[in-house]
Structure 1
């Protein structure tokens, strides 16, 4: 199995290694040289041997190019990232979930394979498996192996409940992901199980984190701050520092992507982050989302006018940038807003908040006591 991947990345070319966050940028002429060496079964170029040793401590000089280096082809599309919602089903019933329904449904295995090949041919190098809970899909392990063999750098977004299973740990040890991002819903069984509405969930999480740490699986923790665990934030940070290389905190709970208000009740007063100004997003242009049935949209929130990749193929993605641009236009209550230059949320997310009839303070500067005319 390949040790490194060489791939186009927008207007550049990169060399990356599964399981590592180190990467190498190379010019087009070196990419062509490497592609020729691998396809012609020639010795690997000295510059790659030296770069791999420096970046990863990896010795490539005694290895054949074929099977060691996977060189991805230049594609006619400019996509490099995608999220694949392999199944909306979940073994938890989290109070804050952005999915209105968590039905077990999706493509059969052979169609999953075809979809992953389409993602590869669209240029996708960075692929995130998400859900629902991706690891409970009956085809997850197969789909992971398929994506890995196609030369994708994989992230798994998971609740960690099945991370401890030997078959999962063995898979991730033998085919390293770019990272596994585990959601942390509390620092105690009381808070964690309360939010997930699943007795024993915290115990499974700790078991999974320990197994992944022992196996050397690269972890990142996503600290989900809610009313159930706000009193444990420091303890949650301590857990993150113990198990993961990095962690991020999320306190702004969104409505369901179709505008349901139910998740908003879990927000922790005083923790809403309003510091980051929205400065644009590549969704629909260099990135896209795919649901369990192969429907492509700009992102997991902006799901209007989906493109059926299984029937339209890659040609359908040519329409996605215009669809994304249309969804980013300020409309409804956001039309003509004088504060749009310092808005904290994108238009699709603002629309979900508006449809949920959320308090302005949860997503809009007009909820901060400022006296501005929205129209």
Structure 2
């Protein structure tokens, strides 16, 4: 199995090590050099040996290119990242979930494998597995393995409830992901189980965090702040520190992507994110989202006019930039807004808030005291 991946990425060339944060940017000449000897028994070029020692303390002297480095070819599509919603099914029933429905269905294994080959051929280097809960999908282990062997750097976005399982931990130890991001919904069983509406959820997640830490898997915790756990925020931060995990905090709850308001009831007053000004997004241009049935959209929220990858193949992605641009236009309730230049949400998300009839102060500057 490869130690390093050399790959084109959005007009540049990178060398990365699965499971490690550090990476190398290389020139086209360097990339072409390793590509020309990728499937041979040739030793690694001296500059790559030196780079591996510097970036990852990895000594590959004596290793062959064939065994040590997976070289990904250049593609005619420039999609460097994608998210794959492998299944919307979930073993939690979170009050704040943005999914309109959580049906347990998706592609059969043969089609999943074909979809991953399409993602690879589209140029996807960074792949995020999401759901629902990806670890409950019957094909997750095989799907993850194929994505890894295809030369993708993988993030798993999970609720952590099955992270402790031996078959999962052993796979991630053998084929390390770039990181595993676990959503944290509280610091005590009362708050955690209340939001997830799953008795015993907190205990399962702690078990998964312990197993991942002991296996040396790179962890990040997504701290989801709601009315159930806002009083525990300091303890949630301490929990992340205890498991050696990076952390990101999310205080804004969104409606479902179809524009229904149910998740908004979980919002904690005073914890709306003060995000930066929205200055554009590569969604649909260098990044895209795929749902459980192989339908590609600009992102998880902007799901209008999906491209059916299973029937159209890669040619369908040629339409995606125009579809994305159309969804980003300031229309509907945002048309002609004088504050659009300093808006903090994209148009597809604003549309979901508007369709949910959400209070303006949850997403729009016109809901602030200053604007009023």
Shift of 1:245: 3.4
Pairing 1:211-230 to 2, within 5 Å after superposition: 211-230=211-230
| Distance (whole Å) between structure 2 residues aligned to residue 141 and residue 204 of structure 1 | 19
| Distance (whole Å) between structure 2 residues aligned to residue 220 and residue 254 of structure 1 | 21
Runs of 4+ with deviation above 3 angstroms: none
Shift of 1:371: 4.3
Report if aligned partners of 1:19, 1:176 keep a CA contact under 8 Å in 2: yes
Whether 1:253 aligns to 2:253 is yes
Q: Equivalent residue for 2:154?
A: 154
Report if aligned partners of 1:99, 1:257 keep a CA contact under 8 Å in 2: yes
Pairing 1:141-220 to 2, within 5 Å after superposition: 141-220=141-220
| Distance (whole Å) between structure 2 residues aligned to residue 370 and residue 259 of structure 1 | 27
For the structure 1 residues 371 and 214, does the alpha-carbon distance in structure 2 shift closer, same or farther, using more than 3 Å as the test?
A: closer
| Distance (whole Å) between structure 1 residues aligned to residue 327 and residue 71 of structure 2 | 35
SS in 2 for 1:38: coil
| Distance (whole Å) between structure 2 residues aligned to residue 244 and residue 329 of structure 1 | 42
Shift of 1:144: 0.2
| Distance (whole Å) between structure 2 residues aligned to residue 273 and residue 40 of structure 1 | 51
Report if aligned partners of 2:298, 2:320 keep a CA contact under 8 Å in 1: yes
| Distance (whole Å) between structure 2 residues aligned to residue 62 and residue 190 of structure 1 | 55
Q: Equivalent residue for 1:8?
A: 8
Give CA-to-partner distance per residue, 1:28-86, whole Å, 9 cap, x none.
00000011122343221010001001110111111111021000000000100000000
Report if aligned partners of 1:37, 1:45 keep a CA contact under 8 Å in 2: no
RMSD: 0.8
Q: Equivalent residue for 2:356?
A: 356
Shift of 1:308: 0.3
| Distance (whole Å) between structure 1 residues aligned to residue 274 and residue 127 of structure 2 | 28
Report if aligned partners of 2:70, 2:151 keep a CA contact under 8 Å in 1: yes
SS in 2 for 1:89: coil
Give CA-to-partner distance per residue, 1:275-322, whole Å, 9 cap, x none.
421111100000000000000000000000000000000000000000
Q: Equivalent residue for 1:327?
A: 327
| Distance (whole Å) between structure 2 residues aligned to residue 72 and residue 147 of structure 1 | 13
| Distance (whole Å) between structure 2 residues aligned to residue 74 and residue 38 of structure 1 | 14
Q: Equivalent residue for 2:69?
A: 69
Report if aligned partners of 1:38, 1:44 keep a CA contact under 8 Å in 2: no
TM-score for both structures, normalised by structure 2: 0.99
Q: Equivalent residue for 1:30?
A: 30
Give CA-to-partner distance per residue, 1:102-126, whole Å, 9 cap, x none.
0011000010000000000000000
Whether 1:124 aligns to 2:149 is no
Greater displacement, 121-130 / 273-282: 273-282
SS in 1 for 2:211: helix
| Distance (whole Å) between structure 1 residues aligned to residue 38 and residue 151 of structure 2 | 15
SS in 2 for 1:204: helix
| Distance (whole Å) between structure 2 residues aligned to residue 291 and residue 341 of structure 1 | 31
Q: Equivalent residue for 1:278?
A: 278
Question: How many pairs were matched up?
Answer: 372
TM-score for both structures, normalised by structure 1: 0.98
Greater displacement, 199-208 / 275-284: 275-284
Q: Equivalent residue for 1:366?
A: 366
Structure 1 unaligned segments of length 5 or more: list them. Answer: none
SS in 1 for 2:202: helix
SS in 2 for 1:5: strand
For the structure 1 residues 311 and 275, does the alpha-carbon distance in structure 2 shift closer, same or farther, using more than 3 Å as the test?
A: closer
